[in-house]
Amino acid sequence: MATRRLRQLQPILHRCTQRPFFSQPAQSELIQVTPKVSLFTDKVHIKVQGLPSKAKVTLHAMTEHEWRRKPAQFVSCSHYVASHSGEVDLQKDASVGGTYTGVEPMGLFWSMKPCPSGPLNIRMVVKNVERPVLYKLSVYLGHLPLSDLHIKNTQHEPLSALEVERVVMPSNVRRIPVREGTVRGTLFLPPGDGPFPGVIDMFGIAGGLMEIRAALLAANGFAAFALPFFGYDDLPKTFTEQTFDYFEDAATWFASHPSIHPEGVGLIAISGGAAVGLMMAWHCPQIRAFVRINGPGFHGFMINLHRKGMLLKKGVRLDMDKCPVTEEGQVMKDGWTFPEEDIIPLWERDVHMLTLISDDDGQNHPHVGDMPKKLYPEDRRHLIEVMHYPGAGHLLEPPYNPHCRTCYNPFFGQDLLWGGYVKEHAIAQEDSWQRILNFMNKYLPSSS
């Protein structure tokens, strides 16, 4: 395991030692980040040295992205009191204010929120996984609120600033666009000849092609296939009518790929993608391990599935009278009405399922995710694991990606309340990512 991890990190470390990020004044040495280039899901060590003794300081982080083709900034800050020797160490010192408090070495990353001078109903989405995510870290004298640092015409000069790179796709991971028959997506292969344990990765009703999780899986030694199912290329424009043949073809193609271990593949899916993923795990013999993230135990989310021109499964409908629109967005978790017989009997197959449930999910009620386990026969319960996350919201993503409580959804034409609280959600993302990796390593055939 240690040897494989070293091989995964080698290209990142090489980049760190081979080139500077940008020309910086000597003062930038006040901030030290180790390593300066790191995998997106890895922890870093942040220290500030050379400060006045016992000085009150603000650490600030900023990254730039796009949201619906418009520029967007995500920012965070924390307040510290320097030691007698003029040092702040995020591994041992507590933040006393800002976007997080307490001893939180990665707090500047997971507590990020939309810049207060821009739209607040947006989500940080890493679209281009081949480019590192850049963060600018700065330190200021005094305890400054986030709003003061982002109001126009307010001048606050940093004592020091440093740019940090977080890599989603290491340079030794191969990214291969896929157009096989009707199947679309992107294949990510780790370094080496394989065959590798393979994982199909699906997102939900945001649509389009989402590659971040698949790229990070490849960075951890899995061959991963990011599989979109609407809103991308020549796929359907919306998710409500889907051809199940597409998903069966995707599973068949991926499982038979020469780089994939031939003894079965895994599947990870979230939200509406998890509803389709549940049907795949039930019908596709290639799938032997399934991670269901905040998805129902029935085939739902209003997705009608057709197979060879015939209706295979009608999606469970929402009772919109039970889906109130609040100030933060629409809440749909109480709108699902379904009989017990709609639960997909995955226990009939030898598929291991890890179910991750966020207890403050605004779209999927925790009891909806819990129901399948109660129906598993006693002699089949070893096939299902359930993990609850108190205070976490719907959008469980890889660790240190900022929590999104609410954002605009184009299908519904309004904001949806995903729920969750910043710190609790960050804890859930860190724990769930490691559980996913451990689960897939346990139940998929290992790399040669």
Q: Please tell me which of 176-180, 203-207, 405-409 the model is most confident about, judged by mean pLDDT.
A: 176-180
Structural domain contains residue 79: yes
pLDDT tens column, 167-195: 999 999 999 999 999 999 999 999 999 89
pLDDT of residue 27: 54
pLDDT tens column, 34-66: 999 999 999 999 999 999 999 999 999 999 988
pLDDT tens column, 71-102: 899 999 999 999 999 999 999 999 999 999 99
Element (H, E) at 433: helix 422-443
pLDDT of residue 18: 35
Secondary structure class of 60 (helix, strand, coil)? strand
On whether both 355 and 397 belong to a single domain, the answer is yes
On whether both 235 and 107 belong to a single domain, the answer is no
On whether both 270 and 334 belong to a single domain, the answer is yes
Single out the residue in 150, 167, 184 at which a domain terminates. Answer: 167
| Rounded Cα distance, 36 and 44, in Å | 8
| Rounded Cα distance, 39 and 277, in Å | 28
| Rounded Cα distance, 444 and 219, in Å | 17
On whether both 104 and 147 belong to a single domain, the answer is yes
Residue 361 bears catalytic tag: yes
Query: Cβ contacts of residue 381 below 8 Å, gap of 6+?
Result: 373
DSSP calls for 137-165: EEEEES---HHHHTSTT-----SEEEEEE
On whether both 76 and 195 belong to a single domain, the answer is no
Task: Output the CA–CA distances (angstroms, integers) from residue 245 to 253, 307, 448, in the order listed.
Answer: 12, 6, 31
On whether both 130 and 17 belong to a single domain, the answer is yes
Higher local confidence (pLDDT), 410 or 251: 251
Q: What are phi and psi of 238, to 5 degrees?
A: -125, 170
Helix, strand, coil distribution of the chain in percent, nearest 5: 25, 30, 45
Residue-range definition of the domain harbouring residue 143: 13-167
Nearest to 168 by CA among 50, 56, 39: 39
pLDDT of residue 329: 94
Structural domain contains residue 346: yes
Query: Cβ contacts of residue 58 below 8 Å, gap of 6+?
Result: 77, 78, 79, 80, 98, 139, 140, 141, 142, 143, 144, 149
Task: Look up the CATH number of the domain holding residue 112.
Answer: 2.60.40.2240
Structural domain contains residue 264: yes
pLDDT of residue 60: 98
pLDDT of residue 107: 99
Catalytic residue, chosen from 38, 111, 138, 271, is 271
Q: What percent of the chain is modeled with pLDDT above 70?
A: 92
Read off the tokens for 354.
Answer: 């890890």
Whether 214 and 250 have beta carbons less than 8 Å apart is answered as: no
Q: What percent of the chain is modeled with pLDDT above 90?
A: 75
pLDDT tens column, 87-140: 999 999 999 999 999 999 999 999 999 999 888 999 999 999 999 999 999 999
Q: What is the mean pLDDT of the chain?
A: 91
Task: Look up the CATH number of the domain holding residue 387.
Answer: 3.40.50.1820
* Residue listed under structure tokens 């305890």: 143
For residue 436, pLDDT over 80 is answered with yes
pLDDT tens column, 328-378: 999 999 988 777 788 899 999 999 999 999 999 999 888 888 888 889 999
pLDDT of residue 14: 42
Catalytic residue, chosen from 352, 394, 403, 425, is 394
pLDDT of residue 15: 44
User: What's the pLDDT band for 22 if we cut at 50, 70, 90?
Assistant: very low
Catalytic residue, chosen from 93, 360, 361, 415, is 361
pLDDT of residue 448: 56
For residue 6, pLDDT over 90 is answered with no
Read off the tokens for 399.
Answer: 């660790």
User: What's the pLDDT band for 3 if we cut at 50, 70, 90?
Assistant: very low
On whether both 333 and 411 belong to a single domain, the answer is yes
On whether both 190 and 155 belong to a single domain, the answer is no
Helices marked H in 136-269: 146-149, 212-219, 244-255
On whether both 234 and 153 belong to a single domain, the answer is no
Q: What amino acid occupies position 5?
A: R
pLDDT of residue 24: 40
Single out the residue in 118, 145, 167 at which a domain terminates. Answer: 167
Q: Could you give the number of structural domains in the chain?
A: 2
Q: What are phi and psi of 412, to 5 degrees?
A: -85, -15
Residue 334 bears catalytic tag: no
On whether both 77 and 204 belong to a single domain, the answer is no
Query: Cβ contacts of residue 342 below 8 Å, gap of 6+?
Result: 298, 299, 300, 316
Structural domain contains residue 126: yes
Structural domain contains residue 5: no
Higher local confidence (pLDDT), 433 or 15: 433
329: left (phi over 0), alpha (psi -120 to 50) or beta: left
Structural domain contains residue 6: no
Structural domain contains residue 48: yes
Single out the residue in 135, 167, 199 at which a domain terminates. Answer: 167
> How many contiguous H segments (helices) and E segments (strands) does the chain have?
8, 23
On whether both 240 and 318 belong to a single domain, the answer is yes
Higher local confidence (pLDDT), 325 or 340: 325
Structural domain contains residue 1: no
On whether both 140 and 72 belong to a single domain, the answer is yes
Residue 138 bears catalytic tag: no
